């Protein structure tokens, strides 16, 4: 049986010791808004009435936010200006 996006999200949550607020904070770094109730639906069992499947876009945004949180924002490119006074 292959891992679903929900399984991956659950494993990352445990490995990083993240609470709901931590995940919401990470998602805010990439301008992705989610409520606590929507988030809890991702962690429910598949046969639960309120279960919600974790889509690729959600997981991608979470991983991108995690990169920003752990590494910092991507540095902006600066151009080197050569000062030629000779």
pLDDT score, position 76: 78
Tell me which of 1-5, 10-14, 31-35, 76-80 is least confident: 76-80
CA separation for the pair 73, 59 (Å, rounded): 19
pLDDT score, position 16: 96
C-alpha pair distances (Å), 14 with each of 9, 20, 29, 33, 86: 9, 11, 20, 21, 61
At 82 the three-state DSSP class reads coil
pLDDT in tens, 52-81: 999 999 999 999 999 999 988 777 777 666
pLDDT score, position 79: 63
**Which pTM does this prediction carry?**
0.80
Measured in whole angstroms, how far is the alpha carbon of residue 6 from the centre of its chain? 13
Query: What does the domain layout of the chain look like in residue ranges?
Result: 18-71
């Amino acid at each position: 049986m292959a891992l679903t996006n929900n399984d991956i999200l659950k494993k990352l949550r445990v490995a990083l010791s993240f609470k709901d607020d931590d995940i919401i904070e990470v998602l805010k770094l990439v301008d992705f808004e989610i409520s606590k109730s929507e988030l809890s639906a991702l962690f429910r069992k598949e046969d639960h009435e309120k279960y919600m499947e974790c889509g690729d876009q959600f997981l991608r945004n979470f991983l991108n936010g995690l990169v920003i949180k752990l590494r910092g924002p991507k540095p902006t490119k600066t151009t080197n200006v050569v000062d030629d006074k000779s």
